[in-house]
Amino acid sequence: MTTYYSGTPKAYVAVDCIIFGFDNNKLKLMLGKRQMDPGRGEWSLYGGFVGMHESVDEAAHRVLYELTGLKNLYMRQVGAFGAVDRDPGERVVSIAYCALIKISDYDHQLYEEHAAEWVDLDHLPPLYSDHQQMVLKAISLLRKSIKTEPITNSLLPDYFTLTQLQHVYEAILGESIDKRNFRKRIMSIDLVEKTEMIDKITSKRGAALYRFNNNRYEGVRL
Amino acid sequence: MTTYYSGTPKAYVAVDCIIFGFDNNKLKLMLGKRQMDPGRGEWSLYGGFVGMHESVDEAAHRVLYELTGLKNLYMRQVGAFGAVDRDPGERVVSIAYCALIKISDYDHQLYEEHAAEWVDLDHLPPLYSDHQQMVLKAISLLRKSIKTEPITNSLLPDYFTLTQLQHVYEAILGESIDKRNFRKRIMSIDLVEKTEMIDKITSKRGAALYRFNNNRYEGVRL
DNA sequence: CCAAAAGTGTTCCGTCTACACCCATGG
DNA sequence: CCATGGGTGTAGACGGAACACTTTTGG
């Protein structure tokens, strides 16, 4: 071990995961009650410390994996949070990551192990430390990226109806969208393709199921 | 000092500043040669370690102040960089910040003290560690934010011609813009106001000098 | 007198928006 | 048979893009 910077103070470096899911036409956030001091019992994002032999990105993926059993999820850095007293007692700099998961893929056994809950985004409880700021920033980023990146495919199951897709857009943007205009836009980018399957669960008539085709959209706006 | 997290490893936390200026119709980046090991002599962004009694944001402002003598500059977090071996020898997580400064305000005595140089953005030398990635991400952010935030007022002197303003946009966006369309857009948002002053330096005929009025643009697109 | 930069409008085209009715079916 | 959600087209408004000539004056 070299000692180039001896005398310089170090800090704990953590990651916190803002995990979004989509269910019942609502955006949900995965929260848990903190199981360690300080802040035991408060609602909190899932997080963990960055190990010495993993990058910060890897730490975020690891934490998410430990929580959900899922790998290769959409994850994106939200930002570093470094107020002096953001953690009571110790100096912890935390790097927030936003993740999108398909709730249907989530291993439900893990709910109880981690005391995880899906909380409705517009009924958030008070959160530990600066976690609320992290969530707000993540939502703001989501709203921007939904216009240029195909992030919805991380939230929906493999097959879905156009109405479901529209609901995802509406939940993220926080506004309702005209059905005909929405379908026109979606069809003009060739983001999805129709399948032969029909969903009869949510409607009597039945709705065509679509899937994402893996074209990327380049420079497309919504 | 409490010891909630004893056993957890710590890391050095640093900030690095991507400092943009505008001169001679070009975007410039302030670089220096590293004056410490490791990497002594390599081209590098300016950075420093985060102290225990300052937030990460404050550390970034402090580093910028030490370098330029300027306070209250536009600064924006670019992101955290946390590869395991991004710093040779020690584990350093660095948080990059983008700053915009008016080159005319810069105290030129400080150039030599810090061996700072303004380097043309499209002739960047190889940079230390992951600093090039930081720069690329900062440029990408700049391109996005110029459409929604009045960042140009951080790059131009208090009084400027519309042609200068257009050159800033062109330099950041990396493409040329139609003069008439540009002026129409700028006038439709009321971003700037005409003054009685006339600049006779760059043209024989003389160009009207404008200044920013401090309206912010809310939700405006370019 | 001419080179060099400032300044100024119009037309066209594509995109976004608003808007309402019929369809299929399970219960 | 009716309630429920699925599916479809058009017209008007708006904003962005293309485009060229006149003005002023220092040298």
C-beta separation of A164 from A155 below 8 A: no
Contacts of A144 in chain B (CB under 8 A): 144
pTM, full prediction:
0.94
pLDDT value of residue B215: 65
Query: Can you say how many angstroms the Cα of residue B123 is from the centroid of all Cα atoms in its chain?
Result: 17
| Residue A109, pLDDT score | 79
Over 70: is that where the pLDDT of A2 sits? no
What is the DSSP code (8-state) at residue A195?
E
Name the closest residue on chain B to residue A54, using Cα atoms: B84
Q: Quote the CA–CA distance of A58 and A52 in Å, as a whole number.
A: 11
Candidates B150, B31, B49; CA nearest to B95 is B49
Residue B222 has pLDDT above 90, yes or no: no
Average pLDDT over residues B129-144: 97
B85, two tokens:
């071996």
B187 CB within 8 Å of a chain A CB:
no
The residue-averaged pLDDT of A161-185 equals: 97
Which pLDDT value is given to residue B218? 59
Residue of A nearest to B57 (CA): A82
Predicted local confidence at residue A166, as pLDDT: 98
Q: What is the pLDDT of residue A35?
A: 87
DSSP secondary structure letters along A41-63: TSEE-EEEEPPTTS-HHHHHHHH
Rounded to an integer, the average pLDDT of A58-74 is: 94
Q: Which of B37, B51, B57 sits opposite A4 (nearest CB)?
A: B37
Residue B213 has pLDDT above 90, yes or no: no
pLDDT tens digits, one per residue of B185-200: 999 998 999 999 999 9
pLDDT tens-digit map of A97-116: 999 999 988 777 777 788 89
**Residue B221 pLDDT > 60, yes or no?**
no
**Looking at the partner chain, which of A11, A53, A84 has a beta carbon nearest the beta carbon of B10?**
A11
d(CA B75, CA B177): 26
* B38 vs B134 pLDDT, higher one: B134
A153 and A191 Cβ atoms separated by less than 8 Å: no
What percent of chain A shows pLDDT beyond 90?
A: 80
pLDDT at A216: 60
Q: Is the pLDDT of residue B219 over 60?
A: no
**Residue range B19-36: mean pLDDT, rounded:** 94
Predicted pLDDT at A128: 97
Contact B138, B31 (CB under 8 A): no
Do the Cβ atoms of B191 and B213 come closer than 8 Å?
yes
